[in-house]
Amino acid sequence: MLKIFILEDNKDRIKWFKKTFKGCKLYVTKDVDKALSILMSNKFDAIFLDHDLDEFDISKTGRELTRQMKKKRIASLTPVVLHTKNPLGRRKMARHLLKYKQKQYIHYVIYSELKNYTADMIYTMIGISKAKKKKIIKVKKN
């Protein structure tokens, strides 16, 4: 079963992720410390990160999570989708990730655009192979 990690605090966006990736194992949190713990103890097929979780505390943003991911070299070969609409935050998050991840594993899609994508379109964008998609479908049927 496809495992997807999502850092998000918006309830409507979380509902969209759950609907779009129905049949996948989703790990969703809005807490940076919890996110770090989950990412360190699990292997994921895709990671989706928002930036603005608590605009009053810089230590509770997606940027801080990517800083910690860089420091601990977490999920270096896992596709990451930065879906924040905060352009400065997205650039800073990408800068952290690019220090230890290859560029092809980092994707930028503003949530307002992402919500128009199907799961299949997202799998293609992040490079999930046809063979793996078929495996996911078989798991759903059983």
CATH, residue 79: 3.40.50.2300
CB 104, CB 126: distance < 8 Å? no
Helix or strand (DSSP H, E) at 70? helix 62-72
One pLDDT digit (tens) per residue for the chain, 142 residues: 899 999 999 999 999 999 999 999 999 999 999 999 999 999 999 999 999 987 667 678 999 999 999 999 999 999 999 999 899 999 999 999 999 999 999 999 999 999 999 999 999 999 986 555 555 544 444 3
The pTM (predicted TM-score) of the whole model is 0.89
Q: How many domains does the chain have?
A: 1
Q: How far apart are CA 123 and CA 125, in angstroms?
A: 6
Q: Give the residue numbers spanning the domain of 50.
A: 3-141
